[in-house]
């Protein structure tokens, strides 16, 4: 993937006396010293590190230091909850509106996000070049949807050609049907820079003609998509709600199971055995319920929210008991993006705080196949770091409030927010 040029890297920074919170343990690791050189973490030690000449030294005096957060389910191009209308906007307008969405994410402490439908390599490169301020982007290009599936916004009486949205920046997905057509779609997305493949394998809330229990794509199509993704040395992520849809996807080799609201214990165990991972996104259903209609969600979509919303917390317990790893995801649309950090608080109602944090650090990095690069404070990793005023293991709401409790946000060694005294 494209990465920031070294020209953007800055002065060495030595953090002294940090309380490290990375989700690996229920308690912070205190008295930690971390040296950042260029865009990477150079040293992490329980013993004092000697500051290199000209390094900036920051004594954190026990403040919390965390790896930059990772959200594994976002749509940076979703500038409104009316996704059909979004798909028709001019590309330039979509890119312009995506920039404050991405900046908002970074200022909430998310230094990496996985876009699961919509963002293209152009947006990714603009962030990597520093033209757009935002999280490091991992992209899949357009999500694959069957005719009448979760990315077919045409509705009952709209007979437009099904390729009208394929290359529009504001479209989350594209339509393809049949084994050869899905094969070609995967190859086209990979060629255009996709780092994994997203498939809509179940009905959805925000689309007009697919109740959530619809199974999308045939088993042969799903297997073909998985085959083509693995030929390209990557994996498939699937939009899924019902137990039947999840089981079918797991059996076809899908690795990243999005949403999973209606998963049952047997399927969760099967998924864990096969090495799949889940990416719940509970906050989006809470917000859609409260404000979806105000922000453009159509009535037929509003009527579907509770089909998945009500099962959300229970699904977390089911997956945890089955040993199915869960990464952090949010799936917010349009004006609802500012609620991104509330997923931490929602999950903490039923999961231990350090496990919730881990979902946005090491577990997320594992899902993105970027272990050791992001989601950890370790030598060699990107210097993506946040400093929190207080201990989020005791009060998860410290991660909410649009970053107001974050006194420093560092991305690739550069401080994008800094209110620590020099």
Q: Which residue bears the tokens 């998860």? A: 396
User: Does the protein bind Zn ion through residue 307 (CB under 5 A)?
Assistant: no
What is the smallest separation between the CB atom of 258 and Zn ion, expressed in angstroms? 6
Strands, E assignment, 172-249: 173-175, 197-200, 236-242
Nearest position to Zn ion, beta carbon: 331
Phi and psi (nearest 5°) for 228?
A: -65, -40
Q: Does 221 bind Zn ion (CB under 5 A)?
A: no
User: How many binding residues for Zn ion (CB under 5 A)?
Assistant: 1
Q: Which stretch binds Zn ion (CB under 5 A): 84-92, 324-332, 367-375, 410-418?
A: 324-332
The residue (of 14 and 185) whose beta carbon lies closer to Zn ion is 185
What does the per-residue mask of binding to Zn ion show for 327-366, with x meaning CB under 5 A? ----x-----------------------------------
Is position 115 an interface residue for Zn ion (rule: CB under 5 A)?
A: no
Taking the complex as a whole, the smallest distance from the CB of residue 327 to Zn ion amounts, in Å, to 13
Instruction: Using the minimum distance from each CB to Zn ion, give the nearer residue, 22 or 331.
Output: 331
Q: How far is the CB of 339 from Zn ion (least distance, A)?
A: 14
d(CA 91, CA 104): 20
Q: Are 44 and 379 in contact (CB under 8 A)?
A: yes
Taking Cα atoms as reference points, which of 270, 261, 266, 182 lies closest to residue 229? 182
The span of 50-58, 326-334, 344-352, 379-387 binding Zn ion (CB under 5 A) equals 326-334
Residue whose CB is less far from Zn ion, 37 or 331 = 331
Q: 19 or 237: whose CB is closer to Zn ion?
A: 237
Compare residues 335 and 395 and give the one whose CB is closer to Zn ion: 335
Least Cβ distance, residue 336 to Zn ion (angstroms): 12
Q: Which helix (H) or strand (E) holds 224?
A: helix 219-231
Nearer to Zn ion by C-beta: 81 or 381?
A: 81
DSSP 8-state assignment for residue 68 = P
Which sign does the torsion angle of CA 87, 80, 345, 378 carry? positive
Smallest gap from residue 104 Cβ to Zn ion (A): 17
Closer Cβ to Zn ion, 114 or 414, answer by number: 114
Give 197's contacts (C-beta < 8 A, 6+ positions apart). Answer: 140, 144, 186, 189, 190, 225, 228, 229, 234, 235, 236, 237
Stretch that binds Zn ion, among 30-38, 207-215, 323-331, 335-343 (CB under 5 A): 323-331
What is the rounded CA–CA span in Å between residue 363 and residue 324? 11
In the complex, least distance from residue 74 CB atom to Zn ion, rounded to whole angstroms: 8
User: For strand 64-67 and strand 13-20, is the pairing parallel, antiparallel, or unpaired?
Assistant: parallel
Other Cβ atoms less than 10 A from the Cβ of 366: the count is: 16
- Tell me which residues touch Zn ion (CB under 5 A): 331
């Amino acid at each position: 993937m494209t990465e920031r040029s070294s020209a953007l890297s800055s002065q060495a920074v030595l953090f002294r006396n940090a309380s490290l919170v990375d989700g690996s343990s229920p308690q912070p690791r205190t008295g930690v010293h971390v040296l950042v050189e260029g865009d990477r973490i150079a040293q992490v030690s329980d013993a004092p590190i000697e500051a290199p000449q000209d390094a900036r030294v920051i004594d954190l005096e026990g403040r919390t230091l965390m790896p930059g957060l990772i959200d594994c389910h976002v749509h940076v191009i979703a500038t409104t909850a009316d996704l059909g209308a979004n798909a028709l906007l001019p590309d330039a307008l979509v890119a312009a509106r995506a920039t404050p969405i991405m900046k908002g994410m970074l200022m909430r402490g998310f230094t990496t996000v996985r876009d699961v439908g919509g963002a293209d390599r152009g947006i990714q490169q603009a962030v990597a070049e520093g033209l757009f301020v935002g999280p490091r982007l991992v992209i899949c290009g357009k999500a694959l949807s069957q005719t009448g599936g979760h990315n077919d916004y045409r509705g009952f009486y709209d007979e437009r050609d099904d390729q009208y949205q394929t290359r529009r920046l504001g479209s989350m997905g594209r339509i393809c049907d049949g084994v050869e057509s899905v094969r070609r779609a995967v190859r086209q997305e990979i060629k255009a820079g996709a780092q994994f493949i997203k498939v809509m394998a179940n009905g959805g809330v925000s689309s007009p003609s697919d109740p959530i229990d619809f199974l999308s794509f045939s088993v042969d199509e799903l297997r073909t998509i998985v085959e083509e993704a693995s030929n390209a040395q990557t994996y498939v992520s699937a939009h899924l709600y019902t137990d039947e849809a999840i089981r079918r996807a797991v059996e076809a080799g899908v690795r990243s199971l999005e949403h999973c609201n209606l998963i049952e214990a047997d399927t969760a165990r099967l998924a864990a055995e096969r090495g799949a991972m889940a990416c719940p996104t509970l906050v989006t259903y809470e917000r859609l319920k409260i404000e979806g209609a105000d922000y453009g969600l159509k009535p037929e979509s509003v009527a579907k929210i509770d089909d998945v919303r009500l099962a959300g917390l229970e699904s977390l317990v089911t997956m945890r008991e089955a040993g199915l790893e869960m990464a952090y995801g949010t799936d917010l649309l349009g004006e609802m993006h500012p609620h991104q950090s509330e997923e931490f608080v929602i999950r903490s109602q039923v999961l231990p705080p350090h496990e919730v944090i881990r979902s946005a650090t090491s577990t997320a990095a594992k899902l993105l196949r970027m272990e050791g690069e992001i989601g950890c404070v370790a030598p060699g990793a990107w210097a993506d770091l946040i400093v929190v005023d207080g201990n989020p293991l005791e009060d998860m709401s410290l991660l909410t409030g649009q970053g107001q409790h974050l006194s420093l946000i560092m991305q690739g060694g550069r401080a994008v927010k800094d209110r620590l005294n020099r």
